[in-house]
A and B are shown apart, each in its own frame.
Chain A
Amino acid sequence: MNLLLIAILLALMAVGYRLGTRRSRRVSTERKERLHSLPQHYGTLVALWCGIPAFIVLVLWMATQSGYLESVALSELPAAVQTADEGTKLSAVTRVMAIADGTGVVGEVSAEEQAAADAVAQARLIRTLAAVALAAALAIGGFLFTLRRITPKLQARDQIEFVVKALLFVSSLIAILTTVGIVLSMLTEAIRFFSFVSPIDFFFGTEWRPTFSSTGAGGAGEYGLLPLLLGTLLVSVIAMLVAIPVGLMTAIYLANYASPRLRATAKPIIEILAGIPTIVYGFFALVTVGPALHGLGETLGIDISATSALTAGLVMGIMIIPFISSIADDIITQVPRSLRDGSLGLGATKSETIRKVILPAALPGIVGAFLLAVSRAIGETMIVVLAAGNSPVLQGNPLEAVSTVTVTIVNQLTGDTDFASPQSLVAFALGLTLFVMTLALNVVALYIVRKYREQYD
């Protein structure tokens, strides 16, 4: 049905294009005037005016249809259903919709349901007819109107280009809309969560027990962020301790010491690490690294959990190495050659030049790279889900299992709990916290890196 409508519309647009092209040529010969634009432009203009308004109407209609019909169904159902809780309403409406669609339902169809379904079917028919009629009127109207407007003076090309530019602009706005969507959805759901739990208890609480309540406050449980934040911090710090030295020294070696051949081989190999999905790292941590660390701990007489902040952090560090090494490589090679030559010309060794001239000169850029890496580490999910052990307790021992903000988001939203319960909503408060933290790091880091690049441009 919908496809058929679209097909008819497209066919109409094609006809509009042909007629517009022909008419513009004819008008031009009749009036012996040069056309402002190419005949094809006039054809396109007719097609656009024919298609776009009708298309918008059809899309709006399709997008709102099911919501509208559900509200009709609900209003036709008995008052008892209308005042019931969300779940009951939803299942009642679903039944009515199924009856109206003729797909059949389990059990007997009651008289009220049948009545509501009839009403829905009727509303659907009326609304569909109305939408199709409106779309048809717009399409034919736009078609005829534009066709008659065609004169050699009509600036068809400029009008088409305006439409094109508008489309391009709207596309570039999608990115902004995404950010707005993230912020709004996080905020609204987080505010709903804060109607259950006070923000103070959330941000400064030291206990994380979302299902069981020790205070007896209506099953709300304890939602203290601090244990999760500490877990995130532990894992990120360990990851940075692995990634920064290895990544930075790799970049330095490849940029300053390695032969072109080694550089050409080693760089892509190391960048493979960046392309591996994080779930693979998680599995690797869980199956290989964790048990190995546990075994190592046993030999040394230290108690290391197989899933711990150390396991997750170590593997996350490996994941971040190429990230640091490639940004650091960019930044180091941007340090002007003249500085390097100046230092070497004074008799400094290569390592002295790197440590005392190149790195200080590249410092802002490198700090920016580190901050971006930290932001990645705290937002990383699958490695910690699999390998950090999920133990939301406020403790600072990296050899023990921990839980992080991201792990908890996954845990809270993948269970069977109701979306409107604090157990689920807390995920959005956590997500908001995570978003704000990474946003702050990214903004600062990107600013530093940009300033750094400008300095040597």
Chain B
Amino acid sequence: MDQPASPPTKMGVSVTSRATEGSAAAAPVKVSAQNVDVFYGEKHAIKGVSINIPERSVTAFIGPSGCGKSTFLRCINRMNDLIEGCRVTGRILLDDDDINDRSVDVVLLRARVGMVFQKPNPFPKSIYDNVAYGPKIHGLARTRAEMDAIVEQSLRKAALWDEVKDRLKEPGTGLSGGQQQRLCIARAIAVSPEVILMDEPCSALDPIATARIEELIDELRQNYTIIIVTHSMQQAARVSQQTAFFHLGNLVETGSTEFMFTNPHDQRTQDYITGRFG
């Protein structure tokens, strides 16, 4: 296993890693955004955001609601294409490919960059079919046995296998909220993505279910690059290694999570973290 870019050492505040871009530069960059602007019709929702996201770690986007963090997240697998009148400019690189390039197939992109949504949204199908859906449409399994193996592995990785292994044929909508969200994570994992985007994945869950998802996220960063939008600073502090603070469509500050929470550069970050607004 590669070392995560900024290992969560306790009290590891050091002056060297204080540089905003510096800490991330150490690990290979998985996603790199350069001067991204997003417009909804006339509204300028994202203003010139540039950020590098290191591989196999958790990056949290925080900020007050309406600050554009979800919008920016949705640019990374081009979910914004689905919104009428939404226009994205600038470059977003996944590895070294511009995802907005004409030659890029959005299907392939979304298979590489999976997504977990704010509200658990299992399909009204069985648990098994929910997980098998991605592999099935992408043709990842040639035989029934291969599919079974993918489903089992995905559910195991999502820490759901033990709870559902005896009722794979039951509808996914019958699970509890936390289980549904882990099912959605398993569904995303089943396609073997490289990056997983999570848009406030715990906002609809109770604290216990939230804790389980957070544990799971921590597990998953061994293999996946994870970007999580959260409105909870505590959550960002618990699960992420890097944090990016958005405010009114601007990326105010990025850096390793410890620094951001202990010693932010920007006054706005400071105010937000200390609870002056939000």
Contacts and interface: CB of A to CB of B under 8 A. Distances in A.
- Given a CB threshold of 8 Å, the question of whether A touches B is answered with yes
B184 interface: yes
Contacts of A339: 121, 123-124
Nearest to A345: B115
Nearest to B111: A347
Contact of B137 (A336, A348, A360, A361): A348
Contacts of B261: none
A288 interface: no
B134 A347 contact: yes
Contacts of B82: 341, 344
Nearest to B105: A347
Contacts of B240: none
Query: Which of B84, B110, B184 has the most CB atoms of chain A within a 10 A radius of its CB?
Result: B110
A378 to B, nearest CB: 31
B121 A341 contact: yes
A349 interface: yes
A344 B121 contact: no
Interface residues of B, number: 27
Contact of B191 (A344, A346, A349): A346
Interface in A319-358: 336, 338-339, 341-349, 352, 356-357
A275 interface: no
B106 to A, nearest CB: 8
Given A260-B84, A338-B119, A347 B108 contact: yes
A352 B137 CA distance: 7
B121 A349 contact: no
A345 B133 contact: no
A346 B123 contact: no
Given A260-B84, A341-B117, A352-B137, A346 B110 contact: yes
Contacts of B187: 342, 346
A336 B119 CA distance: 11
A118 B123 CA distance: 83
Given A339-B123, A356-B137, A346 B79 contact: no
Contacts of B121: 336, 338-339, 341-342
B167 interface: no
A349 B107 contact: yes
A343 B115 contact: no
Given A260-B84, A356-B133, A346 B124 contact: no
B76 to A, nearest CB: 11
A15 to B, nearest CB: 65
Interface in B73-125: 77, 79, 82, 84, 106-111, 114-115, 117, 119, 121-125
A240 B182 CA distance: 42
Contacts of A344: 79, 82, 110
A174 to B, nearest CB: 41
Contact of B124 (A260, A348, A352, A360): A360
A347 B137 contact: yes
B115 A361 contact: no
Contact of B109 (A260, A336, A347, A361): A347
A119 B169 CA distance: 85
A434 to B, nearest CB: 36
A341 B79 contact: yes
A342 B124 contact: no
Given A345-B115, A346-B133, A360 B110 contact: no
Query: Which of B115, B117, B124 has the most CB atoms of chain A within a 10 A radius of its CB?
Result: B124
A244 B124 CA distance: 24
Query: Which of B114, B115, B121 has the most CB atoms of chain A within a 10 A radius of its CB?
Result: B121
Interface in B8-61: none
A363 to B, nearest CB: 9
Contacts of A356: 133, 137
Nearest to B106: A347
B156 to A, nearest CB: 19
Contact of B188 (A346, A348, A349): A346
Interface in B118-169: 119, 121-125, 133-134, 137-138
Nearest to A358: B123
Query: Which of B137, B138, B188, B191 has the most CB atoms of chain A within a 10 A radius of its CB?
Result: B137
A345 B137 contact: no
Given A342-B123, A345-B77, A347-B134, 18 more contacts: A336-B121, A341-B79, A342-B121, A342-B184, A342-B187, A343-B133, A344-B82, A344-B110, A345-B115, A345-B117, A347-B107, A347-B111, A347-B191, A348-B133, A348-B137, A352-B137, A356-B133, A357-B133
Interface of B: 77, 79, 82, 84, 106-111, 114-115, 117, 119, 121-125, 133-134, 137-138, 184, 187-188, 191
5 contacts: A342-B184, A342-B187, A344-B79, A346-B188, A347-B138
Interface pairs A-B: 3 shortest CB-CB: A345-B115, A347-B111, A347-B110
